[in-house]
A and B are shown apart, each in its own frame.
Chain A
């Protein structure tokens, strides 16, 4: 059962006893049953976390010990010592598959240790034999060798390490020659593992951790893969990525109890807010006015455009289902696309595009605030307030507009607030 419901049930028990809906002995049994479950879960996670921490510390210690490069030892002894941690971790991994496959702590700990020792052995052999190699191929080799560990040991920390390695590789590709687009294939290779882990309960720590890592990897990876040849298209691509993350999250993680259990929505919403705020400034739109300097080929262009297309497709289904929050957050790619049409090759279009972004962010803030009030969710109310106060603060200190324009805009915003307030009061049937 979802943690949120268990917590709710435990909080309701005293009222149910007082109002004589539930006999005290039944209530006690319920409390013991679900209370124990919660405690067990907490204990279970402590074991898993200690296993992972232990594996990380042991792996790190081995790397540091061998990195000393013991000069007294012969090359063959150092070679054996470099392989030893890998072989031990491999044997441990095999034993866990055979004997302890049902224990998360063992799987995570052994998987983490094995992933770390794969990298350390390659690095130490490079050191022993003075084989330099380039950083990008080292990270790629390490990541690909760690990928089977994710699936065969069914472990989430190796998946996070794999994604981190893929990011390091794509960063190297971005600044040196190479094809960074392969990053999308590397990221896609982890998706089946996320699906397998999420099947039973997607709100558990492991699928949530993997979802956070994947969502972050997509956001960072997009920057490295798509910005080299596409000066100005990044705004549309990122608008698409954030909207897709939010819309998918709303569909898959709708019943989460906390913000951290909604990785896609949280990251998507933060991204939509951050990008909208950025687009209220003139400089991003100036990039659209400047003629295209990049030398794009079909593949990166397809990926860059795929995200906004996917976002708009999802957004249309949200519109049909009348999902207010989804329509609001998912509209960013459309706003950016309209901004592009206004601004393309025209300096005169920059200010209208920033005003369009101001209006969008204002509607986003008010809409979030309204949703928070309607659903009585303080976190959402605070999110809406944060959006609006940031927008107001930005515009108050914005020297690009005259005092008269700013004062008129502020009065319009104030009127907007009052009108929203009136609508809210009427809906709730209250009086002032």
Chain B
């Protein structure tokens, strides 16, 4: 392969390497601007990711959906969870489909395990990245405040055509950043 051809191929490879993260940003922005907002109740915990740094792990309370009788689901299978808003204003899943539903709000997720007539889901918004020092502080602050007064935590999520974008983590209506810094 001559030098110019090699460099041409390299340019194509370089563009592909740039395109992947750029597409991720584009998808994020599209969902944020055009997606519906849903609120999911959660409990924040602080783990660590060597590549992506500290994050708050979100234990979403309504991470399950009823399973239709006779429906066979494999662990890790891609499913489409139908979203509905409960009387308390929080979102939950009313059922799952194995193909994208038409005209109903849904979230693309993976099946974790089936427990009788209920299937637990691996949701695509189970972590909220924070600065190194803030993530453990967020968990600690949440734990202390919930012990004292049972404070409620929730996340706001934008959903568009099954794709979701996590917008923010809130504790009693205060964003986690303000909550940790005591604003």
Residues of A within 8 A of B (CB): 63, 66-71, 79, 82-83, 86-87, 90, 93-94, 97-98, 101, 118-134, 141, 145, 148-149, 152, 175-178
Q: Are A130 and B129 touching (Cβ within 8 A)?
A: yes
Q: How far is the CA of A141 from the CA of B23 in the complex (A)?
A: 13
| Interface residue stretch chosen among B63-71, B72-80, B88-96, B144-152 | B72-80
Residue of A nearest to B15 (CB): A90
Decide: A129 and B7 in contact? CB cutoff 8 A.
no
**Candidates A69, A83, A141; contact of B53 at CB < 8 Å:** A69
Contact between A125 and B24, CB atoms less than 8 A apart? yes
The answer to whether A86 and B3 touch (CB under 8 A), given A69-B130, A176-B76, is no
Once the chains are docked, how many angstroms separate the CA of A67 from the CA of B177?
A: 18
Which chain A residues lie closer than 8 Å to B78 at the CB level? 177
Max count, chain B CB within 10 A of own CB: residue among A66, A124, A127: A127
CB B74 to nearest CB in A, in angstroms, measures: 5
- Known A67-B132, A124-B52, A145-B13; 12 more pairs at CB < 8 Å: A66-B53, A67-B54, A86-B17, A93-B10, A97-B10, A121-B21, A125-B25, A131-B165, A132-B125, A133-B24, A152-B9, A177-B111
Q: Which residue of B lies closest to A114 (CB)?
A: B17
Does the CB pair A132–B9 fall under 8 Å? Answer: no
What's the nearest-Cβ distance from chain A to residue B60, in Å?
A: 12
A-B contacts counted at CB < 8 A amount to: 117
How far, in angstroms, from A371 to B41 measured CA to CA in the complex?
Answer: 70
User: Is the CB–CB distance between A97 and B7 below 8 Å?
Assistant: yes
Given the complex of chains A and B, what is the CA–CA distance between A127 and B135 in angstroms? 13
Pick the residue among A63, A101, A129 that contacts B3 (CB under 8 A): A101
Q: Which residue of chain A lies nearest to B181 when distances are taken between CB atoms in the complex?
A: A71
Q: Can you list 15 contacts pairing A with B, beta carbon distance less than 8 Å?
A: A69-B130, A71-B177, A82-B21, A93-B10, A94-B11, A121-B17, A122-B20, A123-B52, A127-B52, A127-B55, A131-B24, A131-B27, A152-B6, A176-B75, A177-B110
B127 located at the interface, meaning its Cβ lies under 8 Å from any Cβ of chain A in the complex:
yes
Note all chain B residues with C-beta closer than 8 A to A83.
Answer: 18, 21
B126 at interface, CB cutoff 8 A: yes
In chain B, residues 86-129, which have Cβ atoms closer than 8 Å to a Cβ of chain A? 110-111, 124-129
Q: Is there contact, CB below 8 Å, between B24 and A68?
A: no
Contacts of A119 in B (CB 8 A): 51
Taking beta carbons and an 8 Å cutoff, which residues of B are in contact with A? 3, 6-7, 9-14, 16-18, 20-21, 24-25, 27-28, 49-55, 74-78, 110-111, 124-132, 134, 165-166, 177
Point out the residue from B7, B127, B128, B131 that lies within 8 Å of A94, measured CB to CB. Answer: B7
By the criterion CB–CB under 8 Å, are A129 and B28 in contact?
A: yes
Q: Provided the pairs A86-B17, A127-B53, A152-B9 are in contact, do residues A122 and B129 lie with their beta carbons within 8 angstroms? A: no
Q: Is the CB of B130 within 8 A of A177?
A: no
Which residues of chain A come closer than 8 Å to B52, judged between CB atoms?
67, 123-124, 126-127
Q: Which one of A119, A126, A131 has the highest number of Cβ atoms from chain B below 10 Å of its Cβ? A: A131
Q: What is the chain B residue whose CB lies nearest that of A154? A: B6
Residues of B within 8 A of A87 (CB): 18
Chain B residue contacts of A132, Cβ below 8 A: 124-127, 166
B182 CB to closest chain A CB (Å) equals 15
Q: Are A133 and B128 in contact, with the CB atoms below 8 A?
A: no
Nearest-Cβ distance from residue B136 to partner chain A, whole angstroms: 13
- Do the beta carbons of B10 and A148 come within 8 Å of each other? yes
Contact partners of A141 in chain B: CB under 8 A: 20
Shortest B29–chain A CB gap in Å is 9
Q: Do B16 and A176 have beta carbons less than 8 Å apart?
A: no
* Cβ-defined contact, B124 with A133, below 8 A: yes
Question: Assuming A94-B10, A129-B25, is B75 touching A177 (CB within 8 A)?
Answer: yes
Interface contact B28-A69, CB-CB below 8 Å: no
